[in-house]
Amino acid sequence: MKLEHLIQNLEKLYSTYSAGEPALAEQIAEVERRLNIELPAQVKMFYQHFNGLAVEDPPFKILRLSSSALSYLVYCTFPRSIISTKFASTHLN
């Protein structure tokens, strides 16, 4: 899916969602410096368009870059479960 179509698809599929303002290049660079990694191109592209995204039903959240933990980037959470998707900063995932 192309990012320019993401909002259109969200509006078609979900009644309630919120998308964050684009992350600044400095914010992305700071996360990469802090974690000593280079984020995948697709992840950077997402954050350059939306710094976070939340959908109520089914509940999931792509966290803002400022929500990142110190040693890993938590990318997505599912509030009604214990599942979260993380990118380890010590090796390729």
72 vs 25, residue with greater confidence: 25
Give a yes or no: residue 63 inside a domain.
yes
Please tell me whether the overall predicted TM-score, pTM, comes out greater than 0.75 for this model: no
Backbone angles phi, psi at 62, to 5 degrees: -95, 115
Local confidence band at 25 (pLDDT 50, 70, 90 cut-offs): very high
Domain total in the chain: 1
Instruction: Please give the residue range of the domain that contains residue 65.
Output: 3-88
Local confidence band at 28 (pLDDT 50, 70, 90 cut-offs): very high
Give a yes or no: residue 44 inside a domain.
yes
Give a yes or no: residue 16 inside a domain.
yes
Give a yes or no: residue 17 inside a domain.
yes
Give a yes or no: residue 93 inside a domain.
no
| Cα 17 to Cα 56: distance, rounded to the nearest angstrom | 6
CATH of the domain at 33: 3.40.1580.10
Element (H, E) at 25: helix 25-35
Omega within 30 of 0 (cis) for the link into 59: no
